[in-house]
Amino acid sequence: MKKIIAVILISLLLISAIIAYNFYGKVYHKNVNETTFILIPTNANLELVAQLLSPYLSNQKNFVWVAKKKNYHNKIRSGKFKILKGMSNDDLVNHLRGGKAETIQLIFNNQDTFEKLAGRIAIQIEADSISVLKAMQDKNFLKKNNFTNATALAMYIPNSYDFYWNTSAIKFRDKMLIEYQRFWNKSRKAKASKQNLTPIQAVTLASIVQKETASISERPLVAGLYLNRLKDFWPLQADPTIIYAIKQEKGQHIEIKRVLNKDLTIDSPYNTYANFGLPPGPIGMPDISSIEAVLNPNNHNYYYMCASIEKIGQHEFAKSLSQHNKNARKYQNWINKQGIKR
């Protein structure tokens, strides 16, 4: 009888030890087999989180078991999370439930339209392009912050910004307003005022400068030329504004390499041959170098410029119409030889 009791006790102890070991293993043994990042969407459930983690776990079922025991399924947070190789299920659940979410570097450069900008943003954060576009063009937001549909693109300064991946479209837009206000500090506002420009007008002119030349070193020279025209009440006569007007009328898909004389009569507020002053708003999204060129232009007496055939991508500048006409004939002869008609 004593032997039977001893065997039973030993068996119970072994069973208890096995159960305890399995329990301990589920909770504390290493289960993450790769260091990586995962993106947990808003309103995700435990099943989806387990699916997202599955490629990086040795045992998915054990993770789900521990997650339920620790009530994670009722406390799931969205965002970008870094998981480390060697994490136990206990470590992993604790991190996902209460650890630090990672930020992303959201980057955008020169986008010609809100649609293009929304698409660029949507591939970097959780919000989709439709919600981003809707937030950016919200009439109440624009009116409250003294923007219009024509000027609102000026609010988005191309750069890299820290965001949480699960940022909503509205939070993205609101933070960009803060970044815009931060960019236009007292110093930049004073420089714009010195040129008789508001910040939005400065961005508008910068967008023309941006389209006019890809050469960063040439931009202060081009900016100075346009400012000379504005100060002396000349029409800007900027070909990029004509191209913008044509695309507004016929569609963004049109490729235009050459502005023709007939284009200069297009009926549009963006036609800077027919209208004096700046157009209603930016014709694109200028980068910081173009804005700085407008705020810190080169001082000179140039009023004319023409694309250079010797320095491709740059311009020949002139003080007089006669010199400009010589430069223009040289360029027109060259472009005709290239067979470029439109």
In the predicted model, what is the mean pLDDT of the chain? Answer: 90
Q: How many domains, in total, are found in the chain?
A: 3
268 Cα distance to chain centroid: 29
- Is residue 144, in this structure, part of any structural domain at all? yes
Residue 315 pLDDT greater than 90, yes or no: no
Q: Is the pLDDT of residue 155 over 70?
A: yes
> What is the pLDDT, as a whole number, of residue 10?
55
Q: Which residues pair with 103 in a beta bridge?
A: 164
DSSP labels, 185-210: -HHHHHHHHHTT--HHHHHHHHHHHH
Tell me, yes or no, whether 201 and 274 share the same domain.
yes
**Residue 241 domain-assigned?**
yes
- Specify if 217 maps to a domain: yes
Same structural domain, 294 and 190: yes
Last residue of a domain, one of 80, 98, 116: 98
Listing DSSP states for 277-330 in one string gives S--SS-SS---HHHHHHHHSPPP----EEEE-SSSTTSEEEESSHHHHHHHHHH
Q: What is the pLDDT of residues 177-199, one digit of tens each?
A: 999 999 999 999 999 999 999 99
Going by C-alpha positions, the residue among 313, 280, 278 that lies closest to residue 294 is: 278
320 found inside a domain: no
Same domain, 190 and 290: yes
Residues in Cβ contact with 69 at an 8 Å cutoff, skipping those fewer than 6 apart: 27
Tell me, yes or no, whether 298 and 192 share the same domain. yes
Among residues 98, 122, 152, which one ends one of the domains? 98
Which DSSP letter does residue 127 get?
A: S
What is the crossing angle of helices 186-194 and 288-295, to 10°?
Answer: 50
In a domain, 311, yes or no: no
pLDDT at 19: 52
**Do strands 315-318 and 304-307 pair parallel, antiparallel, or not at all (unpaired)?**
antiparallel
Lowest-confidence pick of 115-119, 162-166, 301-305, 317-321 = 317-321
Token look-up 């232009």 returns 297
CATH code for position 51: 3.30.1490.480
User: Which of 183, 207, 230 is the last residue before a domain boundary?
Assistant: 183
Portion of the chain with pLDDT greater than 70, in percent: 91
Q: Is 253 or 168 the better-scoring residue by pLDDT?
A: 168
Q: Are residues 195 and 298 in the same domain?
A: yes
Q: Using a cut of 0.95, tell me whether the model's pTM lies above it.
A: no
**Residue 193 sits in the same domain as residue 279:** yes
Query: Which structural domain, as residue segments, surrounds residue 232?
Result: 186-302
Residues 31 and 66 reside in one and the same domain: yes
Determine, yes or no, domain membership for 5: no
Is 97 within 8 Å of 70 (Cβ atoms)? yes
pLDDT tens digits, 77-89: 999 999 999 999 9
Chain-centroid distance, C-alpha 286: 12
